[in-house]
């Protein structure tokens, strides 16, 4: 489609357009998008702009700055051109780190890094990048670590999604970020990364999902578990533990402010509910994988006064409906997140039809890749 055709399409058919996504098909050429934008009267109203190379090419695109988009708030680009400068930009998603060099983004709050090519060593955020209000960094890569993110002293949230050793991302940097309270690490490879911290950081939310080894156990070091068990500021904790010993350390930890707890493992503990009742009296949400009948009886026997929501999920299996029934009859639990197969879903639907005070909502249907249905059960 020619620039003129695109201009007519945008201006005439979508006079109130505020979001635009452009797919580039030309390979190894400089796309003259500026000629289109120069004459496009909608640019000054545009708040969300994305440019995507869907052919995997190394196409170069000059990113228009405030001259074209004075009110732009969200930008997603795969280009390598730099620098960029937007006074009002709040959210930025980039596939090439070099675009951040000497970039001026005084109001940027969210930065998402998704490199197109695998870095050999690490992702280094340029120190010349100006983003004093940055609060959230998300990094997804298959190989490298993340460095220089401690220059953003207002950072509150950090998500690292990497298959590499976390040793490439030195967590000692966290000690220089006084406002950081939410950290999530996926595909964690261990390495005593947390135990190397010289002081306790006041996390309120911590998510660690380690990679699994050939023995079906997650890579999580005992020293990391001991460090986490002493974080009294924690309000939300999601963790995969490797064995019963790690589980016992965590379940007996002093975490007085914990309101949400997710255990993604297959460990069992006969006295888990009584321990939760005595240790975590503020707990409102509990996520576990032990959804067998004995576990359900424990929920029926003990009362957690503030517990409102329970999530049951098995890593490679569904929770049988028979094990769920005692929880459905519980007087204090109001919300349940349930992962199930087709047969158990049909049983649940019939149960909810007979009980008008129970509302069933289907979050996600089963697929060939992920065979489980995800349901939300609410007691009215």
- What are the pLDDT digits (tens) for 128-141? 999 999 999 998 76
273 found inside a domain: no
Residue-wise pLDDT tens digits, 49-67: 665 544 444 444 455 566 6
263 found inside a domain: yes
Q: Are residues 286 and 379 in the same domain?
A: yes
Region 317-339: mean pLDDT is 72
196 found inside a domain: yes
Q: Are residues 288 and 380 in the same domain?
A: yes
Q: Are residues 287 and 238 in the same domain?
A: no
Query: Residue 54's pLDDT is what?
Result: 43
How far apart, in whole angstroms, are the C-alpha atoms of residue 46 and residue 88?
12
Backbone φ and ψ for 96, nearest 5 degrees, come out as -130, 120
197 found inside a domain: yes
Reported as a pLDDT band with limits 50, 70 and 90, residue 229 is confident
Reported as a pLDDT band with limits 50, 70 and 90, residue 337 is confident
Q: Are residues 259 and 318 in the same domain?
A: no
- In contact, 251 and 269? CB cutoff 8 Å: yes
How far apart, in whole angstroms, are the C-alpha atoms of residue 243 and residue 284?
25
Query: Residue 97's pLDDT is what?
Result: 81
Last residue of a domain, one of 213, 238, 267: 267
Residue range(s) defining the domain that contains residue 206: 181-267
Residue-wise pLDDT tens digits, 180-228: 899 888 766 665 577 777 777 788 888 877 666 555 566 677 888 888 8
Residue-wise pLDDT tens digits, 263-312: 765 555 566 777 777 778 788 888 876 555 666 666 666 667 788 887 77
Taking 70 as the threshold, does the pLDDT of residue 83 lie above it?
A: yes
Q: How far is CA 74 from CA 77, 155, 276, in A?
A: 10, 19, 43
Last residue of a domain, one of 267, 298, 323: 267
Q: Are residues 238 and 308 in the same domain?
A: no
Q: Are residues 185 and 252 in the same domain?
A: yes
Last residue of a domain, one of 267, 299, 314: 267
How far apart, in whole angstroms, are the C-alpha atoms of residue 233 and residue 267?
25
Q: Which residues contact 2 (CB under 8 A, 6 or more apart)?
A: none
350 found inside a domain: yes
193 found inside a domain: yes
Exposed e or buried b per residue across 124-147, where buried means at least 16 C-beta atoms within 10 angstroms of its C-beta: ebbeebbbeebbbbbbebebbbbe
- How many domains does the chain divide into? 2
5 found inside a domain: no
Q: Are residues 282 and 365 in the same domain?
A: yes
Percent of the chain whose predicted confidence (pLDDT) is above 70: 59
Query: Residue 110's pLDDT is what?
Result: 94
Region 342-362: mean pLDDT is 83
Q: Are residues 222 and 256 in the same domain?
A: yes
Q: Are residues 201 and 225 in the same domain?
A: yes
58 found inside a domain: no
Q: Which pair of structure tokens corresponds to residue 194?
A: 């947390």
Which long-range contacts does 66-70 make (Cβ < 8 Å, 24+ apart)? 68/34, 68/37, 68/38, 68/43, 69/43, 69/44, 70/44
How far apart, in whole angstroms, are the C-alpha atoms of residue 169 and residue 67?
37
- In contact, 332 and 307? CB cutoff 8 Å: yes
- In contact, 145 and 124? CB cutoff 8 Å: no
Q: How many CB atoms lie within 10 A of CB 353?
A: 10
Q: Are residues 223 and 297 in the same domain?
A: no
Q: Are residues 370 and 307 in the same domain?
A: yes
- In contact, 164 and 142? CB cutoff 8 Å: yes
Q: Are residues 285 and 365 in the same domain?
A: yes
How far apart, in whole angstroms, are the C-alpha atoms of residue 145 and residue 193?
13
Q: What CATH number is associated with residue 283?
A: 3.30.110
How far apart, in whole angstroms, are the C-alpha atoms of residue 197 and residue 192?
9
């Amino acid at each position: 489609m020619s620039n003129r055709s695109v201009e007519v399409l945008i201006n005439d058919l979508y006079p109130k357009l505020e979001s635009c996504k452009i797919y580039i098909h030309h390979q190894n050429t400089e796309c003259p998008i500026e000629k289109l934008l120069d004459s496009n009267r909608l640019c000054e109203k545009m708040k969300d702009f994305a440019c995507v190379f869907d052919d995997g090419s190394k196409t170069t695109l000059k990113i228009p700055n405030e001259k074209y988009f004075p009110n732009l708030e969200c930008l997603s680009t795969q280009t390598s051109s730099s620098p960029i400068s937007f006074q009002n930009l709040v959210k930025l998603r980039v596939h090439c780190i070099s675009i951040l060099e000497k970039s001026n983004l005084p109001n940027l709050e969210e930065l998402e890094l998704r490199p197109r090519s695998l870095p050999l060593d690490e992702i280094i955020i340029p120190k010349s990048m100006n983003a004093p209000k940055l609060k959230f960094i998300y990094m997804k890569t298959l190989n490298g670590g993340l460095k220089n993110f401690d220059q953003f002293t207002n950072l509150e949230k950090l998500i690292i999604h990497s298959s590499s050793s976390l040793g490439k991302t030195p967590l000692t940097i966290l000690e220089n970020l006084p406002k950081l309270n939410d950290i999530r690490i996926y595909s964690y490879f261990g390495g005593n990364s947390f135990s190397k911290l010289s002081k306790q950081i006041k996390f309120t939310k911590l998510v660690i999902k380690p990679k699994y080894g050939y023995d079906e156990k997650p890579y999580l070091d005992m020293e990391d578990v001991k460090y986490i068990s002493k974080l009294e500021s924690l309000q939300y904790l999601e963790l995969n533990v490797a064995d019963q010993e790690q589980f016992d350390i965590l379940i007996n930890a002093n975490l007085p402010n914990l309101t949400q707890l997710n255990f993604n493992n297959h460990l069992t503990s006969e006295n888990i509910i009584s321990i939760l009742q005595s240790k975590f009296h503020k707990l409102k949400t509990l996520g576990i994988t032990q959804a067998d009948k004995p576990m359900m009886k424990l929920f029926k026997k003990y009362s957690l006064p503030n517990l409102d929501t329970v999530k049951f999920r098995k890593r490679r299996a569904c929770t049988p409906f028979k094990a769920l029934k005692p929880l459905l009859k519980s007087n204090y639990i109001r919300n349940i997140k349930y992962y199930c197969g087709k047969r158990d879903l049909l049983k649940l639907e019939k149960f909810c039809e007979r009980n008008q005070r129970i509302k069933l909502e289907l979050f996600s249907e089963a697929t060939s890749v992920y065979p489980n249905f995800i349901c939300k059960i609410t007691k009215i």
